[in-house]
Amino acid sequence: MWDALHGVSAAVGFHLYLMAQPPGLPEEMIAARPDVFFGHFLDRWGVSPEAVPAEIRAAYLDACRAAVPSIVADFRASPGIDVEHDRADRAAGRVLPMPVAVLQQDWGSALGYDAAALWRAWAPDLVHTTTTSGHFMAEESPAEVTGALRALLAR
């Protein structure tokens, strides 16, 4: 992900750069207006606004509001210790021996993020599927996501 975030994709992924900052500022900025911050992604990253009904949106925002420090800490690890661990695993020739399924939104590839190429290096038994849904695939394309999970479990 970090290798692909340049230009337009970096602007789309602004939240990743924000949450990668040292502890303090990102948490305070997000906690000041968490519904605006997390609501932004619900509003912009979905293909169909109806996919996340009002009561689900409210529950999502409640959960995010309560977990700002944890969410930021998780994203903060992404460009740091997670990258270090990935590099060590690659250097050691480690791969995932189990079947792996990757579902990718079609707009992800438009931003230069090639999930198939990334995951194929880690997972020799890979099935990659591109969906036409937005970021919230389970909500927007539940049958497609369920089908991919069933196919994975059957392998």
Do 4 and 28 have their domain in common? yes
What pLDDT is recorded for position 57?
96
Least confident stretch, 79-83, 107-111, 141-145: 107-111
Domain end: 77, 94, 111, which one?
Answer: 94
- Dihedral angle over CA of 29, 33, 37, 39, nearest 10: 170
Do 102 and 131 have their domain in common? yes
Do 149 and 128 have their domain in common? yes
Do 101 and 89 have their domain in common? no
What pLDDT is recorded for position 89?
96
pTM recorded for the entire structure? 0.84
**CA separation for the pair 18, 22 (Å, rounded):** 9
Q: Is 111 left (phi over 0), alpha (psi -120 to 50) or beta?
A: alpha
Least confident stretch, 33-37, 104-108, 116-120: 104-108
Do 21 and 82 have their domain in common? yes
Question: What 3-state DSSP class applies to 128?
Answer: strand
Query: Domain residues for 40?
Result: 1-94
Do 73 and 109 have their domain in common? no
Domain end: 94, 129, 145, which one?
Answer: 94
Total count of domains within the chain: 2
In contact, 103 and 75? CB cutoff 8 Å? no
Nearest of 109, 5, 48 to residue 19 by alpha carbon: 5
Beta partners for 102? 128
Ranges of beta strands (E only) in the chain are 100-105, 126-131
Do 56 and 104 have their domain in common? no
Q: How many CB atoms lie within 10 A of CB 52?
A: 19
Distance between start and end Cα atoms, the chain: 27
Beta partners for 101? 127
Q: What is the pLDDT of residues 72-94, one digit of tens each?
A: 999 999 999 999 999 999 999 99
What pLDDT is recorded for position 110?
66
Amino acid at 110: A
